[in-house]
């Protein structure tokens, strides 16, 4: 189960809407071993694509060094889907390299604000996708 604050959910959704029609992507870092997402780190989609996301390798290296220095780990890896449901694609599954991370997907297919968009979380380990419950809290 992913427990996440409303403020972080709002930041992910705002980033996804801001980058639409391209996919948005980023990480939420947290203290090592806690599983608690705390620090929102929006990343630029180096692919600049509505159907694919890619972290810039230099930005990603910088982020991992920063997390090492702060005794953090990637608790959430998120991205948006702009025209499909919030479910990991085959490409998403093949690129999932953090077995302890929660993979959050947001669908921005409905951008006029009139319909529900999807905010879902998954574990992806060895190519196996498992959806998990998301609990949104005000504070930890």
Pick the range with the lowest mean pLDDT from 2-6, 10-14, 32-36, 111-115: 111-115
pLDDT at residue 105 in the model: 96
Instruction: Read off the pTM.
Output: 0.93
- Rg of the chain over Cα atoms, rounded to whole angstroms, equals 14
Strands 2-5 vs 134-137: parallel, antiparallel or unpaired: parallel
Q: Which long-range contacts (CB under 8 A, 24 or more apart) does 61-64 make?
A: 63/27, 63/29
pLDDT at residue 112 in the model: 52
pLDDT tens column, 67-113: 999 999 999 999 999 988 899 999 999 999 999 999 999 998 864 55
Cis peptide before 21 (omega within 30 of 0): yes
> Which H, E and C letters describe the chain, residue by residue?
CEEEEHHHHHHHHHHHHHHCCCCCEEEEEEECCCCCCCEEEEECECCCCCCCCCECHHHHHHHHHHHHHCCEEEEEEEEEECCCCCCCCHHHHHHCCCCCCEEEEEECCCCCCCCCCCEEEEEEECCEEEEECEEEECCC
For residue 116, is pLDDT > 80? no
For residue 60, is pLDDT > 60? yes
Task: Say what percent of the chain tops pLDDT 90.
Answer: 87
Within a 13 Å sphere around the CA of 116, how many CA atoms are in the beta-carbon half?
A: 5
pLDDT at residue 115 in the model: 56
| Contact (CB, 8 A) for 119 and 104 | yes
């Amino acid at each position: 189960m992913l427990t996440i604050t409303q403020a972080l959910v709002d930041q992910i959704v705002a980033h996804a809407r801001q980058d639409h029609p391209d996919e948005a992507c980023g990480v939420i870092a947290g203290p090592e071993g806690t599983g608690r997402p705390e620090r929102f780190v929006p990343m630029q989609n180096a692919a600049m694509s509505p159907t694919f996301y890619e972290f810039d390798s230099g930005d990603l290296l910088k982020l991992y060094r920063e997390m090492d220095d702060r005794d953090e780990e990637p608790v959430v890896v998120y991205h948006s889907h702009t025209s499909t449901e919030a479910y990991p694609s085959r490409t998403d599954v093949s690129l999932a390299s953090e077995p302890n991370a929660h993979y959050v997907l947001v669908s921005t297919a409905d951008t006029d604000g009139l319909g529900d968009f999807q905010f879902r979380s998954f574990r992806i380990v060895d190519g196996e996708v498992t959806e998990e419950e998301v609990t949104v809290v005000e504070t930890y």
